[in-house]
Chains A and B, each alone.
Chain A
Amino acid sequence: MFSRSKAGLNPEAQKVVTQLSVMSAGRKMPKMLKLCNEDYIKHKTIMKAWSVKRKQEKEAEERSIKKQYRSIREAFEDLKLASPKLFEKANEHEYGKRFPLEMRIPTEYPPRQIWYYDYVPRKRND
Chain B
Amino acid sequence: MSFNSRRTFSTTAAAFKVGCAMVKPVHHKVKIRKKFLSPRFPELKIDPSDIRSPKYKPYLTQPDRVKDYYHNTLKSDLLLVGYRHDQVKVEGVKRRQWDMTSPYHLNRPLRKPRGQVVPSPDIQPRDWRNVPQFETITLNCWVKEAKLKPQMAIAGSLQLQQMTGCKTKPIYAKTNVPTWKVRPGMKMGAKVTLAGKYASQFLTTLTEIVLPRIRDFKGISNKAGDRYGNIAFGLQPEHIKFFPEIENNQDSWPQTFGVDITLHTSAQTDADARILLSALGIPFAGTERVPKNLLNDVKESTIDSNVEDVKSVETVKAVKASEPVS
Contact = CB atoms under 8 A, between A and B. Distances in A.
18 contacts: A15-B151, A22-B158, A25-B167, A65-B79, A68-B128, A69-B83, A69-B128, A81-B315, A83-B316, A84-B301, A84-B308, A85-B312, A86-B319, A87-B85, A91-B84, A91-B298, A95-B288, A96-B271
Interface in B267-326: 271-272, 274-275, 278-281, 283-284, 288, 290, 294-295, 297-298, 301, 303, 305, 308-309, 311-312, 315-316, 319
Contacts of A103: 279
B131 A65 contact: yes
A106 B157 contact: no
Nearest to B280: A105
A16 interface: yes
A12 interface: yes
A44 to B, nearest CB: 8
B80 interface: yes
Given A68-B128, A85-B312, A106-B69, A99 B319 contact: no
Contact of B283 (A66, A101, A105): A101
A112 interface: no
A15 to B, nearest CB: 8
Contacts of B319: 82-83, 86
Contact of A23 (B86, B158, B312): B158
Contacts of B158: 19, 22-23
Interface string A77-100: 100111111110001011111110
B155 interface: yes
Given A19-B154, A25-B167, A95 B281 contact: no
Interface stretch (A3-11, A32-40, A115-123): A32-40
Given A22-B158, A40-B52, A95-B271, A84 B303 contact: yes
Nearest to A15: B151
B204 interface: yes
Interface in A32-84: 32-33, 35, 40, 43-44, 61-62, 65-66, 68-69, 72-73, 76-77, 80-84
Contact of B128 (A16, A65, A82): A65
Contact of B51 (A33, A84, A97): A33
Interface of B is mostly: helix
Contacts, number: 122
Interface string B47-68: 0000110100000000101101
B305 A84 contact: yes
B316 A65 contact: no
B107 to A, nearest CB: 43
Contacts of B77: 99
B110 interface: no
A126 interface: no
Contacts of A69: 79, 83, 127-128
B85 A82 contact: no
Contacts of A125: none
B89 interface: no
B312 A82 contact: yes
Given A86-B316, A99-B275, 18 more contacts: A19-B151, A23-B158, A25-B167, A32-B54, A35-B52, A44-B51, A68-B79, A68-B128, A81-B311, A83-B312, A83-B316, A91-B298, A93-B84, A95-B295, A97-B275, A99-B278, A105-B69, A106-B65
B76 interface: yes
B75 interface: yes
Contacts of A80: 85, 303
A32 B271 CA distance: 47
Interface in B152-210: 154-155, 157-158, 161, 167-168, 204, 207-208
